């Protein structure tokens, strides 16, 4: 069996398992706007509100990621008796997560509000009260965990954000209950005292958390940095009584250090366009847990988690990843191994990507054509079009539509080749194919901010008229004389 087939099988089996999540619940709010001037009242930027959204944060985002992967999820957490707590319950219900929450009147639901402009976080405002569980709350959490274990779960995941719920005594009690039943425990840790996680199956710190827990720096500049990380992870495991440790290293990938003394595993990171790293660690441990719960090997679990993290950081705000998205990424890698192939999108994918770019405050441009044999005229048009926008989408005619427009001898290059050549250009951010004689249906679906093309007057250009109708811009590009694919074909025929 090919390794890709093994990964696909893991994805298909996610729906057959159940994971119990325990940890600190948060409500993440994202406020999007524009900043284009400084306040006359004080030397601070003026943030002009544009839109906002709410999402589950903390252990809620871990649970939401597991559900998006198809895993059955039970959740034990703390919410306050307040508006944010009510909103958390609504979001969990929408996500299909089974909730057993403790309610603390004296502790508000943790809420993080992020202000975002042009894909950059300007400010984060936190509302939180850190409080250890009292005797009643501790008993309630332990009882909920015991009940879930009796009903049957394949793995327990502790998501610790150091907000108070996962006290040392409660962690010890949960890990002991799981060990008695042979249920693995994964931990996304926080703080410097990892002895509270003693006996857990796997603990996943990032580099900074590893250094804080050890009280020493880990050098990533040397060629053997993976060995150095693995050695540091083993020292932490011995110090705190841990089993396996997996360290995430952002752009340097992740390193797994096993307790049995077998060689460490280093997996390089996926190349990615980073829009927002919020919640990427939640996606990583959720995918690791899901893959482990279905019996995947460590390397396969790491691979799936790595792919999932690469997808989610390309999204804006706290987000989730689906098995279908992971599968598409795996199939693209299997097909060619060319990283720019990920720019070639289906129509629905392109619409989702355009929405994300626009939500991040980016201006989206659009142009289209056959692009049969790429020449200087094409490059000039693309260069001009990109000057009008932050992200440029190029729609190209399918082979069938080119034949209808240009005759049976065209295209010279098939649609896949033409799409890949365009995707390899830095000027181009996404490529989408269309089979109609015009690009009007694609434009209706994508609704770009600006449409750009050479050789058309707006009154004879239906796509441009549609963009202008909803407040967009139409730009007529200058043509570079002496370049056309049809003329190139004629010249080649004449030389035969």
Active site residues: 282
- Which residues lie closer than 8 Å to 473 by C-beta, 6 or more apart? 388, 449, 450, 451, 467
Report d(CA 309, CA 94) in Å as an integer: 23
Report d(CA 300, CA 306) in Å as an integer: 10
Q: Is 461 helix (H, G, I), strand (E, B) or coil?
A: coil
Closest CA to 386 of 425, 416, 359, 358: 425
- Which residues lie closer than 8 Å to 90 by C-beta, 6 or more apart? none
DSSP 355-420: HHHHHTT--EEEEEE---S--HHHHHHHHHHHTT-SEEEEEEE-HHHHHHHH-TT--SS-HHHHHH
CA atoms within 13 A on the CB side of 145: 28
What H or E segment, with its residue span, contains residue 234?
A: helix 225-240
Report d(CA 368, CA 322) in Å as an integer: 30
Report d(CA 311, CA 275) in Å as an integer: 10
What sign has the CA pseudo-torsion 229, 233, 234, 239?
positive
In the DSSP assignment, the letter for residue 481 is T
What H or E segment, with its residue span, contains residue 283?
A: helix 280-293
Report d(CA 254, CA 248) in Å as an integer: 4
Report d(CA 275, CA 261) in Å as an integer: 38
At what angle are helices 83-95 and 59-68 packed, to 10 degrees? 20
Dihedrals phi, psi of 123, to nearest 5 degrees: -160, 145
């Amino acid at each position: 069996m090919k390794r890709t087939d093994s990964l696909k099988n893991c994805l298909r089996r996610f729906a057959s398992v159940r994971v119990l999540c325990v940890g600190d619940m948060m409500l993440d709010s994202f406020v999007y706007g524009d900043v284009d001037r400084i306040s006359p009242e004080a030397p601070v930027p003026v943030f002009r509100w544009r839109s906002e959204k709410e999402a589950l944060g903390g252990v809620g985002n871990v649970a939401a990621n597991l559900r998006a992967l198809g895993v059955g999820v039970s959740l034990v957490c703390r919410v306050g008796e307040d508006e944010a707590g009510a909103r958390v319950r609504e979001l969990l219900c929408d996500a299909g997560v089974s909730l057993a929450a403790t309610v603390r009147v004296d502790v508000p639901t943790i809420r993080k509000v992020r202000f975002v402009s042009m894909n950059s976080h300007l400010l984060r405002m936190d509302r939180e009260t850190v409080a250890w569980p009292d005797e009643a709350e501790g008993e309630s959490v332990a009882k909920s965990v015991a009940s879930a274990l009796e009903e049957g779960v394949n793995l327990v995941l502790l998501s610790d954000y150091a907000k108070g719920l996962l006290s040392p005594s409660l962690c010890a009690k949960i890990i002991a209950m799981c060990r008695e039943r042979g249920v693995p425990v994964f931990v996304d840790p926080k703080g410097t005292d990892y002895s509270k996680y003693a006996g857990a199956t796997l603990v996943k710190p990032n580099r900074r958390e590893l250094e804080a827990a050890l009280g020493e720096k880990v050098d990533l500049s040397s060629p053997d940095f993976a060995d150095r990380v693995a050695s540091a992870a083993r020292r932490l495991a011995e110090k705190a009584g841990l089993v396996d440790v997996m360290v995430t290293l952002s752009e340097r990938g992740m390193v797994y250090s096993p307790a049995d003394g077998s060689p460490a595993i280093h997996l390089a990171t996926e190349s990615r366009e980073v829009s927002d790293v919020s919640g990427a660690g939640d996606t990583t441990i959720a995918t690791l847990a899901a893959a482990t719960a279905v019996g995947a090997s460590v390397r396969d679990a790491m691979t799936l988690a790595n792919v999932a993290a690469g997808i989610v950081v390309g999204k804006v705000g706290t987000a989730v990843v689906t098995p279908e998205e992971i599968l598409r990424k795996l199939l693209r890698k299997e097909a060619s191994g060319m990283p720019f192939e990920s720019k070639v999108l289906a129509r629905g994918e392109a619409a989702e990507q355009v929405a994300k770019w626009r939500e991040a405050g980016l201006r989206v441009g659009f142009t289209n054509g056959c692009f049969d044999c790429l020449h200087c005229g094409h490059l000039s048009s693309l260069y001009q079009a990109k000057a009008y926008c932050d992200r440029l989408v190029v729609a190209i005619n399918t082979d069938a539509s080119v034949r209808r427009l240009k005759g049976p001898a065209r295209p010279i290059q098939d649609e896949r080749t033409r799409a890949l050549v365009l995707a390899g250009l830095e000027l181009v951010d996404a490529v989408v194919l269309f089979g109609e004689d015009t690009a009007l249906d694609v434009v209706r679906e994508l609704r770009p901010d600006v449409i750009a093309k050479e050789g058309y007057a707006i009154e004879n250009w239906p796509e441009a008229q549609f963009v202008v109708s909803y407040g967009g811009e139409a730009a007529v590009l200058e043509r570079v004389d002496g370049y056309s694919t049809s003329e190139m074909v004629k010249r080649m025929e004449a030389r035969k």
